[in-house]
A and B are shown apart, each in its own frame.
Chain A
Amino acid sequence: MRELAPARPLGGPAVPLAPLLWAGAVLALVAPPLLLGDKHWAISWPKPWIVPLKAWITAFMTWLRDDLSFGLFTFQEATRFLSWLLGQPLALAGALLADGFTRGSGSDAVLLWPPLPWLAVAGLPVLAALWAGDRRLALLVAVCFAYLALFGQWASAMTTLASIAVAVPIGVAVGLLIGIAAFRRPWLERVLTPLLDLMQTVPIFAYLVPILWFFGFSPVAAMIGTIVFAMPAMIRNTLLALRRVPVETVEFGRMAGCTRRQLLWKVQVPSAAPGLMLGVNQVIMLSLNMVIIASMIGAGGLGFDVLRALRRLDLGAGLEAAVAITLLAIALDRLSQAVAARGPGERSGPGWLLIAAALVAAAWLVGPVAPAVQRWPDAWTLTTGTAVNEAMIWLNLHAFDTVEAAKGWLLVNVMVPLKRLLVGLPWLGVVAALALAGWRLGGWRLAATAAGLTLFIVVTGQWEYAMVTVYLCGLGVLLAGLFGMPVGIWASRSEPVHRVVQAVIDTLQTLPSFAYLIPAVMLFRVGDVAALMAIVAYAVVPVIRYTDHGIRHVEATVVEAARAMGCTRGQILRKVQLPLALPEILLGVNQTIMFALAMVVITALVGTRDLGQEVYIALSKADVGRGLVAGFCVACLAMIADRLIAAGSERLKARLGLA
């Protein structure tokens, strides 16, 4: 192993200085509150110094809404036009899948032709699965759709599917175009990167009110929120995939006399297809993550059913609707993966299209006269009834006391002291420490970034909320790591375990967190522990996924060489696989932090007093500025963590000779 990173920052101190520096940093953090008391300006930012960013943002947004005009039309008219435009495909999808074609609207609407019968809606994906994959995939897809019908989720699921069916293609297409543009123009990429970070990390509650102002209170607004959240994944994957197209391929295209346009669409994009499909997968998963929030602003569907069931503590009904969302996600995800793996131009005969068209036509024509083909008969539906509630009661009666004891220990020995420590840290010391970390890991530029982002939180007066957020999410990430890494390692070493774990983490990722937050409250009471459990349940997903993936993708020859040298399995894991998979694992940690921060708004629903609660309160007071400032602070935390870890990972790669 080479000892020193070649990319060591200019002017970085020699290694022996480091321990001294870190000791100084720790001292700078802990000493001042003891010496100066916690009212000093260097400890807690004085109120009069707070920059009134909230008020400025509110004023700006109101101006956008009421006053900005381009002469012929106002800004709001422009956004409303866009909303109308996006509403057209949505209305079509809604009519096709859920509501049928009608004349007029509201209760006066006259049904002209019913929506696609369930037989066709369920049949098409199964056919697609047979075409792109195999019988097993077709069976999986069939089971997912059968669940929707059997458990009486069909009508709501179609409303949800209709909005996904429009949001995903738009997110993918626009994301692809932006990604290509950024690939060609490096300056655009530099501008985009922070913007993408904001889109992914500012909680949607923070900009819900402006979206509603500009795009109207309709399913379209919900769809736009979904696209804003899901599209960055497509842009990032497009950039990554285009960059990975081998230089030789592009050169070959050039030699063949391609124009720039031909080179892009006939050479680069097709060669990048697998990477692009990964983006599509991400967009599907992330769009389904938004189903609950979208239902709060008029999208209806499964998300609304989950909310309503939990509101009356009908855990069974809530779980049934939540599982429907998960199964929809899994079916769409596996299907798109199969399509991606098939690659373009293979085995595509007109036969399949013909069968599909025949199925749709037959079902649609027969539907109006055969009610059982048109609508899944209510008599055929199942329900778990009170079983889930009863199971929860049993758990509550038998496990509560044990849980309570463990919880008490955790609170007294870990959570409360940690919270006190973090909230008491002096802002000046934290800014300095983060700047130092940035400088050591990536030079003065990173130092300035880290310090600047931290200062933003300080000067906007969000310090204390931010530290509570750091406490909850930090602990959540730590626990997720402690639990997730061993599981990930285990999954990487055994195929059956891998399969089971994969199914579990896919479920955790797509199951609406609200569905397990309420049972968590029943066992852990309202408070930080319930919030922490919900954070861990969601944030553990990427740790497991990336650890598993990283170890599996260590080059087989390296492992072989180690084995030839007589290493035991344990030695191979510790000395070869883990170090080589470390960059990947760090990427997983980075994603874990993002996932944990994404839960901040959800945990506000069980009463935490952090940035998420600020966002939530702002929503209830329709205070646009307050919500956005708190939302930006969440994004700042995410960006600080992301930049530092990325730099650390780069250094590690260099040290291990991987870069």
Chain B
Amino acid sequence: MRLKLGRALPLTLAVCLAAAPLRAEVESKDPIKLTLHDWTGHFITTKIMGGVLQAMGYNVEYVQADYLAQFAGLEPGDLHVAMEIWETTGADALEASLATGKTIDLGETGLFAKEEWWYPAYMKERCPGLPDWRALRECAEVFATPETAPKGRYLGGAVTWGGYDEERVEALDLPFEVVHAGTDAALFAELDSAYQRKAPWIGWVYAPHWSQTKYEGEWVEFPTYEPACYTDPAWGVNPDAAYDCGKPFGWIKKVGWAGGAEKWPCAYQAIRAFRIDNATMGGLIAQVDLEGKSVEEVVQGWLDANQDVWQAWTKCG
């Protein structure tokens, strides 16, 4: 019903024709509802999965939904599958939702979120010790703004993203003030503005994300994360405080409505099997956001070129 004419149809047809021999009887022809969020990477993972499910003969529907509000739709089964829950930004909501027993964890996507303090490449001239984190102690003032001077200003993610940056600043004795951006869009708007002016900027950047292809820059190298760093104060350079290290890589997981496992067991099997890696994903995102191709075109290209990869996911037995 919520079908974008002229956009979804050609894709559907193409997938169905290409994979006609694969089409078989499926458990239920009720549409499997996949959520779509407002970032490109998510469009791509979701439409790849949707394309594969359609090739298997399932009926697929895409629903535009807010990343956090979607759990209220997944639990009663109004929505069925969400392809990307990030450990950093969604772990709390995911945990709360799984605890209700109404949603199930469908495993990792193979994508990992790299999240760390990041600065544009031109900052290296103004603070030569980078990327080593100790350099931040020396040149905090380079990153200062009138409100934070003499401390440096670090733009963190939304409060809800967690990340322990206040603790990190404290534990590593960095003369920085942590400011929270509120949203992803605000965070990158500020980076974009600073980058245009070649102005000092340091903040929370993550990958896979188009910023990695658009801007030249580097991650700060903190002491490598180990679980002990977050739990044991004795660990690391500061013997009295935890969080004296960098951030862990975060998983990106798929999650589904629990009832779906009985309704469409083979589809859920395929969703569990879905795997893709950061490099592939980064390339696909860049094709859309920087080269201006349509998501459908890019997804179709990937599906055509990687038949054997995704056909392995569809085995059910």
Contact between chains at B147 and A312 (CB < 8 Å): no
User: Is A102 a contact partner of B93 (Cβ separation < 8 A)?
Assistant: no
Residues of A close to B1: CB separation below 8 A: 91, 94-95, 99, 102, 105-106, 109
Chain A residues closer than 8 Å to B2, beta-carbon distance: 94, 99, 219, 300
**Dominant secondary structure at the B interface:** mixed
- Are A522 and B182 in contact (CB-based, < 8 A)? no
Please, how many angstroms separate the alpha-carbon atoms of A94 and B4 in the complex? 11
B240 at the interface (CB under 8 A from A): no
Stretch of A259-267, A548-556, A618-626 that contacts chain B: A618-626
Residue-wise interface mask of A (347-381) relative to B, using a CB-CB cutoff of 8 A (1 in contact, 0 not): 00000000000000000000000000001000000
Cβ of A54 < 8 Å from any Cβ of B? no
CB contacts (< 8 Å) of A114 on chain B: these are 5
B38 contacts partner chain A, Cβ-Cβ < 8 Å: yes
**How many residues in B have their beta carbons less than 8 Å from beta carbons of A?**
65
* Stretch from A34-42, A168-176, A303-311 that touches the partner: A303-311
Contact across chains for B5 and A155 when beta carbons are under 8 A apart = yes
Within 8 A of A (CB), among B34-84: 38-40, 50, 54, 59-61, 63-66, 68-74, 76, 78-79
Q: Given A105-B1, A522-B189: A212 and B73 within 8 A (CB)?
A: yes
User: Is residue B31 contacting chain A, with contact meaning CB distance below 8 A?
Assistant: yes
Tell whether B187 is near chain A: CB-to-CB under 8 Å. Answer: yes
Q: Which residues of A sit under 8 angstroms from B272, Cβ to Cβ? A: none
Binds A, one of B131-139, B155-163, B227-235, B274-282: B155-163
- In the complex, what distance in Å separates the CA atom of A107 from the CA atom of B71? 23
Which residue of the partner chain, among B4, B66, B183, contacts A296 with CB atoms under 8 Å? B66
Segment of A191-199, A466-474, A603-611 engaged in the interface with chain B: A603-611
Q: Which of A212-238 contact B (CB under 8 A)?
A: 212-213, 216-219
Closest to A519 in B: B189
A108 and B29 within 8 A (CB): yes
Say yes or no: A522-B190 contact (C-beta < 8 A), given A109-B1, A412-B146. Answer: yes
Q: How far is the CB of A339 from chain B (nearest CB, A)?
A: 31
Q: A312-B289, A518-B186 are in contact. Are A300 and B160 (CB under 8 A)?
A: no
B5, B6, B68, B186: the one contacting A521 at CB < 8 Å is: B186
Question: Is A579 interfacial (CB 8 A cutoff)?
Answer: no
What is the CB-to-nearest-CB distance from A156 to chain B, in angstroms, rounded to a whole number? 9
Give, as a whole number of angstroms, the nearest-CB distance from B315 to chain A: 22
- A297 and B192 form a contact (CB under 8 A): no
A400-447 with Cβ < 8 A to chain B: 400, 404, 407-408, 411-412
Shortest B27–chain A CB gap in Å is 14
Contact across chains for B8 and A107 when beta carbons are under 8 A apart: yes
**Contacting A105 at CB < 8 Å: which of B38, B59, B71?**
B59
Of A99, A209, A518, A606, the residue contacting B69 (CB under 8 A) is A209
Most buried by B among A209, A219, A622: A622
The residue from B29, B61, B193 contacting A400, defined by CB atoms under 8 A apart:
B193
Q: Report which of A99, A107, A109, A620 forms a contact with B68, defined as CB distance below 8 A.
A: A620
Taking a contact as CB atoms under 8 Å apart, the answer to whether A106 and B186 are in contact is no
Contact A297 B65 (CB under 8 A): yes
* Pairs A-B, 8 closest by C-beta atoms: A217-B73, A106-B31, A212-B72, A607-B182, A296-B66, A106-B61, A217-B78, A522-B193
A interface residues with partner B (beta carbon < 8 Å): 91, 94-95, 99-100, 102, 104-109, 111, 114-115, 155, 208-209, 212-213, 216-219, 295-300, 304, 307-308, 310-313, 375, 393, 396-397, 400, 404, 407-408, 411-412, 514, 517-519, 521-523, 525-527, 530, 604-609, 613, 616-617, 619-622
